[in-house]
Structure 1
Amino acid sequence: MTPDEKTARRIRLEDLVALPLTFGLTVSHGGDQAAFYGNASGRFELYALDLRTRDVRRLSDGQVSRSPNAGFVWGRGDRALYFSRDQDGDERQALFELEVGQGAVRALDHAPQSMDYVNGTHPDGQTLLVSSTRGGQMNVYAYDLSRQGEAAWTALTAFEQGAHDPRYSPDGTRILLSANESADLKNLDGYVVNTDGSGLRRVLRVREGSRDALTHWHPDGARVAVTSDAAGYDRAGILNVDTGDMRWLTPEDAAYEEQALEFSPDGRWLAVIRNVDSTLTPVLYGLGEGAEDGGARELRLAPGVSHGAQFALGGTHLLLSRSTGAARADVLLYDLRTDTAEVLLPAEYGSIDPGVFVEAEYVHYPTTDGLRVPALLYRPRNTPPGAQVPALVHVHGGPTWQFFRGFDEVTQFLVNRGYAVLCPNVRGSTGSGAAWRDANLRDWGGRDLQDVAAGAEYLKTLPGVDPARLGVFGGSYGGYLSYLAPVKYPELFRVSVPIVGISDLHALHADNSRDMPQLAHYFRSMMGDPVGDAELWRDRSALTHAHQLRAHMFMMHGANDPRCPVNQARGFRDALIALGRREGEEFEYAEFGDEGHGSADVEGRIRSYRLLADYLERRL
């Protein structure tokens, strides 16, 4: 390929980011509609898709967040949507009601500093089930739509460590939820409480220390879907909350993880999502009589990453989105009667040739302790024979998250510009069992960072990679390791780009304790006590080792970020200045006044990607 031909296949940033996104697919109570967030208009709005006629219509007109970071639910009768909105990424989520027919929007009562997330609507149509921090920690509340102000709110739980994912029973008399009252902070148990907040009782604890969550009610109102890691990996099952009878569906010897999603309207099936080798596939477990009972039914879908998998049209179909490493997400309607899938909303590519995108290679590379790290490796196309390209280690957030073999916009953008990109699921990641996920407990910046460094060493061994031009970047927890990697391994990386990252663990805990107590609890479950483990926290804070930085660094952060507050970036920047480092020459810094913990809107992504690409072009 000539240089002109290669340039012609380069993706124009504005064209890539302008491609419409669809997420948050939510099937209506009646099963014949789905709502979703989409940005076909240039900004995110709420849309409705009629699953019978295939008609799509926009419901909102500028009332949702520019970068939505909270879900929504359908009201009973499917005449309204209830959603949360923050201001410029500050995550002080306030509740709103959107009338589906006319598009009228009204604000519900909101305490200015609270975070309110709607989880469901009561069968009476008058009450919302809400997770809120209005009382301090995240707990469960009922919101009466017929009342005004503070009188609309009723606290239903008061867990010191917070409560998660409440759901109304089919008859509206009970609520399931997950919470923890154990001294083991990583423990999670299942609870049921009456709708008025009385009668709270724990109904599920497989063993103390395991994470046992309730996810969905069976139509009979007695059984619930369960996900538990007590066996050492995520496993789906069904619990009768009245009798305590437990039935596991995921086999004991499974070489994969499964998480329970939802029951079919007739109760004959439980949909789960199967996670194997960084792919996600919907699977149905039959709950009827005969050969169907307990059997796993795999959908006829090519390998990829599926999200959603909600029953629709009376339970005869599943609605889901699906992508692969080299193909953007389509919205599919899967007919369970014929095992065929129809594309309802095809992925758009505009002027971009889909052939420019590359599929990830699923690899394992060696790390410390004789282990091997699963990872996705992307290599640029059309590299001239004998040429060597720069390479990047991309670290994901979480840490309890993972890279999947689905479409990754920023990675494709960088690969298209000639970088090899390694996306490792380092120790602390999900998808490889509880032991791998928990391998960095009280060890942030330890074994996980060793895996990042080992990833860089692995890249050096690959033909076509320039071993002298290695970089590391990532957001959130990935930003944490991108701060730490170049100060703990000062000779390994030429550049580092921490995005909304963490440089000071004590400051993070203090800020989270004040502003996001649910995250402060999560952080303590990960890294222990700020006093008892103070020396560990200091050692695992990049700020402590700022003087060891040899790589060039570019910090990016949203000024309104409540998760990893902007003082994490400002503090590291100020430490470098105090050491005599010159901003603009020895390091670079960008702060965005209209963003929080990253941005999904078009303008924000264009800005961030352009800054990243320009920086790498100059420095790597």
Structure 2
Amino acid sequence: MTKETKRQKYTIEQFENTESLIGVALSHDGTSVLYASDRTGVYNAYSTQLNNGQPNQITYTTTNSIFPITYFPKDNRFLYQSDEGGNELTHIYLQDETGQVKDLTPGVKEKAGFLGWSKNDNSFFYESNKRDERFMDLYEMDIETFTPQIVFKNQDGFQISEVSPNKQYVALHKSFTANNSDMYIYSNDGGLEHLSPHEGDVQYIPVAFDQTSNYLYYLTDEENEFLYLKRMNLMTKSIETVAIEDWSIIMAQFSKNYQYLIYAINNNGKVEIKIMNTKTGHFVEIDNLKEGQISDVTISHNEEKIAFLLNSSNAPDNLYVYDLNQKKLTCLTDTLNPEINRDDLVKADIVHFSSFDDLTIPAIYYKPHLNEGEKAPALVWVHGGPGGQSMVNYNPLFQYLANHGYAILAVNNRGSTGYGKTFFKAADKKHGEVDLEDCIEGKNYLASLDYIDEDRIGIIGGSYGGFMVLAAMAFKPNEFEVGVDIFGVSNWERTLKSIPSWWEAMRDVLYKKIGDPYEENDYIRSISPLFYAENINKPLIVLQGANDPRVLKEESDEIVESVKKNNVPVEYIVFDDEGHGFTKRQNRIKGYQAIKDFLDQHLKDR
């Protein structure tokens, strides 16, 4: 008997009983860390004392998920955000040290987002659409009276990036297309200055001010395929490059006292974090760090500790703290369900294949553990977007399916982020066409592997990826044997005309990337699977959140009803308490079990 035959198979309950962590914040004195965990089945706020590592649950929701944002600068009160059933109308809440909660942004249709603390720690900045549901205005709220004051009235569709430490400037960003944007400075005297006049497609994205408020740091792909970090002297307008890498820099921020500059690199499907000491120019090296991706990095106020999450394709996020003085790394959690042996999980590989026009397409590949001579069924996974990316993260659905013998190829088709601006724009006004051909070539790549059964390959995806599933089944009905559509767009005409009001600033960007439903309606209908549903002749399962504001439930209702007329197997699961994504454990268990049962019946065992 080979070693592979002894590998244990796990239930979806076992996979979902692995704890999921989101967000990290250190307390003002660096003794406690705040984060979200779904160990109760719904995300709640937890704190852990660094001296003992014991988690302490501090919110107790059983319905709407809670995601902590930050501790207060001088005490252990904290802010968190939550919405109603996944409707994305997030509010900012205050919870004090006695457990009392106050909604600080209580507007019925208000959507609010935390931006940061003021330099003197007496107030914080946030954005809200309560004045005009289309646009996010900038507010400052003092923490004595919790009275908001408007700082910048956003009437032209700007995105708010940063407020300078001296409160004199607000850095703004405006996108014209997904490939072209500008940055501006709003002054507290009411002036607005355009900082990036240019020609052609160039991104300018402000990310931070320096401690003196004299320099604005920003990301740009000017004369480069990838984003890199520059800074501008706001007085002289002189510009210098701060950091440039072989791949795009996707985030940059300073620690509270500006001793450290943190930036993230999207390196071929993996996120790398660099932490530079601004006084020495040297990078922090964290000893004994396991392989994986770091996220949610935060540095304590005294700049002696770094807290972060770390995951890999076969290990879920765990919470770590690194002591910069003692050079000591401590893991505070062990989130993988102890019933699961990590050796039974699958480590993903980054692979590449050639598409129909010889363009190289990257992908993340999960090869199941197979017995000698065994032929595996396979799935092409398509990420959300348009413009998203599959990365080498821990994914319980992937691990569950791989554990039960399915190979998964997460294709980063043209139009995906992370591979340069030329690759990113290569599917504009061609969605459901050239990117679908990339997915078909991904299927062909799988079929070329001698341990894959070429007659048992399906397609699966969520959101934009769900649209790609439907497009494959409607426009190329003989390519894939089954489809798994997770809240996917079926009718671009409806979706583009009914985008959430708070996306108004990005409406034209979407229209220029996908198509204008008012000016190019014939084209929009030509790429909408709903109008070609009679072509779908293979089994289909659809999962949908009833409160989804991005892909309305009608999108899934109508495609399901249309495909039923074709006399092919169709399954439909709706979660009444979810939106664009499934945050509750029991819903994920139900949905993922249904996906596997469907695949077992219509792909694996046929």
TM-score normalised according to structure 2 size: 0.91
Taking the aligned partners of 1:595 and 1:269, their CA distance within structure 2 comes to 39
Taking the aligned partners of 2:225 and 2:471, their CA distance within structure 1 comes to 30
Taking the aligned partners of 1:510 and 1:197, their CA distance within structure 2 comes to 37
Q: CA deviation at 1:537?
A: 1.2
Partner of 1:380: 368
Whether contact under 8 Å (1:279, 1:303) holds in the other structure is no
Q: CA deviation at 1:52?
A: 5.6
Taking the aligned partners of 1:444 and 1:296, their CA distance within structure 2 comes to 41
Q: CA deviation at 1:494?
A: 0.7
Taking the aligned partners of 1:554 and 1:378, their CA distance within structure 2 comes to 22
For 1:350, the aligned partner's letter is P
SS of the equivalent of 2:299 reads strand
Q: CA deviation at 1:337?
A: 4.8
Taking the aligned partners of 1:71 and 1:48, their CA distance within structure 2 comes to 10
- Match runs of 1:282-361 below 5 Å: 282-288=273-279, 292-293=280-281, 299=286, 301-312=289-300, 314-337=302-325, 340-361=328-349
For 2:72, the aligned partner's letter is G
The yes-or-no answer on 1:573 pairing with 2:560 is yes
Q: CA deviation at 1:428?
A: 1.3
Partner of 1:94: 91
How far does the alpha carbon of each residue in 1:323-344 deviate from its partner, in whole angstroms, 9 at most, with x for none? 1222222222234456553223
Moved more, 47-56 or 12-21: 47-56
Taking the aligned partners of 2:145 and 2:297, their CA distance within structure 1 comes to 36
Whether contact under 8 Å (2:45, 2:68) holds in the other structure is no
Whether contact under 8 Å (1:19, 1:349) holds in the other structure is yes
Partner of 1:263: 254
Moved more, 46-55 or 301-310: 46-55
For 2:150, the aligned partner's letter is T
Partner of 1:219: 211
Task: Quickly say closer, same or farther: Cα 1:137–1:385, change in 2 above 3 A.
Answer: same
How far does the alpha carbon of each residue in 1:40-79 deviate from its partner, in whole angstroms, 9 at most, with x for none? 333211122344664543222228x6345x6623334244
- Match runs of 1:161-310 below 5 Å: 161-164=157-160, 166-180=161-175, 182=176, 184=177, 186-194=179-187, 198-204=190-196, 209-230=201-222, 231-251=224-244, 254-288=245-279, 292-293=280-281, 299=286, 301-310=289-298
The yes-or-no answer on 1:536 pairing with 2:532 is no
Moved more, 554-563 or 594-603: 594-603
Task: Quickly say closer, same or farther: Cα 1:109–1:257, change in 2 above 3 A.
Answer: closer
Moved more, 104-113 or 607-616: 104-113
SS of the equivalent of 2:332 reads strand
For 1:342, the aligned partner's letter is T
Q: CA deviation at 1:447?
A: 1.8
Task: Quickly say closer, same or farther: Cα 1:349–1:185, change in 2 above 3 A.
Answer: closer
The yes-or-no answer on 1:401 pairing with 2:388 is yes
Task: Quickly say closer, same or farther: Cα 1:322–1:548, change in 2 above 3 A.
Answer: same
For 1:610, the aligned partner's letter is Q
Task: Quickly say closer, same or farther: Cα 1:52–1:245, change in 2 above 3 A.
Answer: farther
The yes-or-no answer on 1:21 pairing with 2:20 is yes
Higher relative contact order (CA 8 A, sep 6+): 2
- Match runs of 1:147-166 below 5 Å: 152=148, 154=150, 156-164=152-160, 166=161
Task: Quickly say closer, same or farther: Cα 1:387–1:185, change in 2 above 3 A.
Answer: closer
Taking the aligned partners of 1:404 and 1:126, their CA distance within structure 2 comes to 39
Q: CA deviation at 1:527?
A: 1.8
Moved more, 259-268 or 608-617: 259-268
Taking the aligned partners of 1:525 and 1:573, their CA distance within structure 2 comes to 29
Whether contact under 8 Å (2:295, 2:309) holds in the other structure is yes
Whether contact under 8 Å (2:349, 2:366) holds in the other structure is yes
Q: CA deviation at 1:610?
A: 0.9
SS of the equivalent of 2:461 reads strand
Whether contact under 8 Å (2:25, 2:70) holds in the other structure is yes
For 2:375, the aligned partner's letter is Q
Whether contact under 8 Å (2:380, 2:442) holds in the other structure is yes
For 1:404, the aligned partner's letter is M
SS of the equivalent of 1:370 reads coil
Whether contact under 8 Å (1:72, 1:119) holds in the other structure is no
For 1:262, the aligned partner's letter is Q
Equivalent in 92, 112, 115 of residue 116 of structure 1: 112
SS of the equivalent of 2:15 reads helix
RMSD (CA atoms): 2.8
Q: CA deviation at 1:269?
A: 3.4
Moved more, 72-81 or 462-471: 72-81
Taking the aligned partners of 1:246 and 1:535, their CA distance within structure 2 comes to 46
Partner of 1:103: 99
Task: Quickly say closer, same or farther: Cα 1:263–1:123, change in 2 above 3 A.
Answer: closer
Whether contact under 8 Å (1:516, 1:562) holds in the other structure is no
SS of the equivalent of 2:442 reads helix
The yes-or-no answer on 1:590 pairing with 2:586 is no
How far does the alpha carbon of each residue in 1:515-574 deviate from its partner, in whole angstroms, 9 at most, with x for none? 743553442242242233222211111112212112211111111100111111112123
Question: Runs (4+) of structure 1 moved beyond 6 Å?
Answer: 146-149
Partner of 1:619: 602
For 2:110, the aligned partner's letter is S
Q: CA deviation at 1:360?
A: 0.9
Equivalent in 436, 440, 454 of residue 423 of structure 2: 436
Over the matched positions of the two proteins, sequence identity in percent amounts to: 22
Moved more, 8-17 or 41-50: 41-50
How far does the alpha carbon of each residue in 1:345-393 deviate from its partner, in whole angstroms, 9 at most, with x for none? 3333321111111111211011022111111111111x22222111000
SS of the equivalent of 1:551 reads coil
Q: CA deviation at 1:208?
A: 5.3
- Match runs of 1:417-496 below 5 Å: 417-496=404-483
Mark the runs of 5 or more structure 1 residues left unpaired by the alignment. none
Q: CA deviation at 1:499?
A: 0.4
For 2:163, the aligned partner's letter is Y
For 1:214, the aligned partner's letter is P
Partner of 2:78: 81
For 1:66, the aligned partner's letter is N
Task: Quickly say closer, same or farther: Cα 1:368–1:334, change in 2 above 3 A.
Answer: farther
Q: CA deviation at 1:7?
A: 7.9
Partner of 2:584: 601
Taking the aligned partners of 2:439 and 2:113, their CA distance within structure 1 comes to 35
Whether contact under 8 Å (1:146, 1:152) holds in the other structure is no
* Number of equivalenced pairs: 600
Whether contact under 8 Å (1:225, 1:260) holds in the other structure is no
Task: Quickly say closer, same or farther: Cα 1:340–1:525, change in 2 above 3 A.
Answer: farther
How far does the alpha carbon of each residue in 1:127-158 deviate from its partner, in whole angstroms, 9 at most, with x for none? 44222233132322315458999x84636132
Whether contact under 8 Å (1:217, 1:223) holds in the other structure is yes
How far does the alpha carbon of each residue in 1:26-53 deviate from its partner, in whole angstroms, 9 at most, with x for none? 3345555432111233321112234466
Equivalent in 137, 140, 143 of residue 137 of structure 2: 140
For 1:360, the aligned partner's letter is A
For 1:37, the aligned partner's letter is A
Mark the runs of 5 or more structure 2 residues left unpaired by the alignment. none
Whether contact under 8 Å (2:134, 2:501) holds in the other structure is no
